[in-house]
């Protein structure tokens, strides 16, 4: 899952709420789109070194409560994570224009988070090796874009 998906919650974050169906205390490993692009460039720059390899691209895990806290710190305003029923989350995503199949897929991914499935918290080692540095943390991602999430 991408850190950048938080843009879909921009409106509610501005009001101090981040809504989602997953348990706010369960960890999830997100990745920034820019890190994925940088990793892809590293692979394309030396394709022979990466032939027939697959990589899991993830940053250090964070909870949804932690995501809300990072937004609060970066924006200087209160942001609270509010857990909602999966059916309500599905309906909301469809209402925002997500195709139903995609909204259901997002819910399935978030159910992996709730179940504690290891797929929701893969290691950041492979991405760090491709980048030659630690992956972007959520706090580092939100810092430069915080102004767009502040209440008006």
Question: What is the CATH number that goes with domain 3-147?
Answer: 3.40.50.720
Residue 152 has pLDDT above 90, yes or no: no
pLDDT tens track for 38-71: 999 999 999 999 999 999 999 999 999 999 999 9
Listed residue (75, 38, 79) closest to 55, CA to CA? 38
Percent of residues, the chain, with pLDDT higher than 90: 99
pLDDT in tens, 97-106: 999 999 999 9
The DSSP call for residue 123 is -
Q: pTM of the prediction?
A: 0.93
């Amino acid at each position: 899952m991408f850190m950048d998906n938080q843009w879909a919650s921009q409106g509610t974050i501005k009001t101090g709420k981040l809504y989602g169906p997953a348990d706010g205390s369960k960890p999830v490993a997100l990745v920034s789109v820019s890190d994925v692009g940088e990793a892809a460039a590293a692979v394309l720059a030396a394709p022979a070194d990466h032939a027939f390899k697959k990589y899991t691209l993830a940053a250090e895990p964070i909870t949804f409560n932690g995501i809300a806290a990072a937004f609060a710190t970066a924006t200087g305003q209160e942001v609270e994570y509010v857990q909602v029923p999966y059916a309500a989350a599905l309906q909301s995503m469809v209402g925002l224009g997500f195709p139903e199949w995609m909204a259901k897929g997002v819910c399935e991914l978030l159910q992996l988070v709730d179940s504690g499935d290891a797929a929701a918290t893969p290691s950041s080692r492979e991405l760090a090796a491709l980048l030659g540095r630690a992956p972007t943390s959520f706090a580092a991602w939100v810092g430069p874009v915080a102004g767009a999430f502040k209440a008006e």
